[in-house]
Structure 1
Amino acid sequence: MSNAAGFSNNQLAVEQITPLQALQSEALSSRYRLLRQGVNAGFFAGLMLLIMLLWWQPWWPVPADLMQVITHALWLVPLFGVLRAFYCWQADKNKHFALREHDISYSSGIFFRKMITQPVVRIQHIELKQGPLERKASLARLQLFSAGGALHTFEIPGLSLTQAQQIRQFVLQHKDALQDEQQQ
């Protein structure tokens, strides 16, 4: 049933609704996965170098208790590094986004899956962010802020810079067009 302004609120059967999981979502840039692996490797390599310097340093005597901790760290740190690299690789494979006419969705998670969908008209503003490593790799992340929230609603990391700029422009143009359409 609709009124003169064109508003309708018809009841829908749940079976007729397309589930969000059926969206044709896009994976993040493969450069994002490689960048995260590089940062992970650099961090753990630096940590191993620091531990090895403590192990081999000739400047002061190392207490026996600390030497035992260093000995354990020499095999625990690489183990945690490999586990973190594997986890990040798998987690990044499960990060996807989808852009539709009226909303944008982002899904992530290995064990606990999460999908966030934000209507375009509810987006207050959208920020395109790049750190120094992301700039070097031509990557960006989009932060979407919705009405009523001080923090961003969600962030889509690992987009190519061109793709992030196109999505940002689409959301800004579409948001204005949809608001104008609703006011008429």
Structure 2
Amino acid sequence: MSAFEVTLQQLNDLLTDDSGLYSWPTKHAHEVYPRIYVGDAFVATNLMHLKNLGITHILNAAEGNSFMHVNTNPEFYAGTGITYHGVAASDTDHFDISVYFEETADFIEKALTHKNGKGKVYVHCREGYSRSPTLVIAYLMLRKDMDVHGALATVRERREIGPNDGFLYQLCRLNHRLAVERMYCNK
């Protein structure tokens, strides 16, 4: 499969088990890549749990105060030493989460280089199932030179995830753009 030919079906196949079913996360948080954790609102609002994990940075992929969002902000983490960044993404097929790919990749990269490369970032949404893993997959593609298949497989190997088809399509578009850029840069 070339980098230009990744389909939604191929990505969905990576997300399901042998019976074709999606699995719900087995824990509130998982380390999906060294020092990058993906999880849910339960851990995001539990300061003791974050401290025990050694989290230095929080990326809220569901900032807002509706039922589908997590109502935290920089003031919520005031005095904890945790650096906060939030994006108000909605978990719907038609929401353009790709507008946040570069900014959140920059935030994750800064988090990991914090404290002489000892920073840890907790990327979350309400359930840690669609929005937050999408942003981590985009980070791995943008900053770790992974293709969409490899990045998705890396995260899925460590946590049960299920980005919606709209988000998967946007990751495929990013994959295509990066493949074209790499092709021209290598000439």
TM-score normalised by structure 2 residue count: 0.26
The structure whose RCO (Cα within 8 Å, separation 6+) is larger is 2
Larger Rg: 1
